[in-house]
Chain A
Amino acid sequence: SYVLTQPPSVSVAPGQTATITCGGKNIGIKSVHWYQQKAGQAPVLVVYSDSDRPSGIPERFSGSNSGNTATLTISRVEAGDEADYYCQVWDNSSEHIVFGGGTKLTVL
């Protein structure tokens, strides 16, 4: 089955840029979606279809996808961005939805 690999944790100072990766075999040909989950809350979609943002999501959140790695970039990080972030794809071959293991973003 298809596997998505994320770093367990990323730390960044306020105002800096956070980069969270999601690795998968030929992930560049898939559509990747990203979710933010704050402690004790339900997940929220922050980027869909590699690089699109739902309404209400700040422009500071952006995404890219190429080769074997998809990336979520958060510019000008704020304390309120501290959360777990998950990538997700639809795997055509298995007709299954796959999530990455999640990355805990810590704002120093």
Chain B
Amino acid sequence: EVQLLESGGGLVQPGGSLRLSCAASGFSFVTSPMSWVRQAPGKRLEWVSSLSAGDSPYYADSAKGRFSISRDNSKSTLYLQMNSLRADDTAVYYCTQGGYRGYFESWGQGTLVTVSS
């Protein structure tokens, strides 16, 4: 059974930083593209970033230059380093399996990030 467990969300002030983690199990993490998708309260799903199986990163325009996606295959863990956070980054952030050039076949339960003073 695929499991994706996000952590690292919380309350942060505007301009601050946060690192999200996603512990993965139940599939071949090393060969899987992985992604982050977010959803602001009451809003649509929004793609944030993807990492291909070959570790090439892709970013939404809203994330480029501020966010960095990475993975540790030895720990089967995906990360999202978020810097220069803004109020409009407030959202539930979902870790997903897949996404690069395709679909998101599995989703975590999400972690809430709130950017507020």
Contacts and interface: CB of A to CB of B under 8 A. Distances in A.
Given A90-B101, A101-B44, A96 B107 contact: no
B103 A98 contact: no
Interface string A91-104: 00001111111100
Interface in B47-80: 47, 50, 58, 60-61
Given A96-B58, A101-B44, A48 B107 contact: no
Given A86-B45, A97-B35, A97-B99, A42 B110 contact: yes
A88 interface: yes
A44 interface: yes
Contact of A88 (B50, B100, B103): B103
A97 B109 CA distance: 20
- How many chain A residues sit at the interface, stated as a range, is 20 to 34
Most buried by A among B46, B102, B106, B110: B102
B30 to A, nearest CB: 22
A102 B60 CA distance: 19
Q: Main SS of the interface on chain A?
A: strand
B99 A45 contact: no
Contact of A102 (B45, B105, B110): B45
A45 B94 contact: no
A86 B35 CA distance: 17
A43 interface: yes
B102 A31 contact: yes
B102 A43 contact: no
Contacts of A101: 44
Contacts of A1: 61
Interface of A: 1, 31, 33, 35, 37, 42-45, 48-49, 54, 86, 88, 90, 95-102
Given A33-B102, A86-B45, A100-B44, 10 more contacts: A42-B94, A43-B94, A43-B107, A44-B107, A45-B103, A45-B106, A48-B102, A90-B101, A97-B60, A99-B44
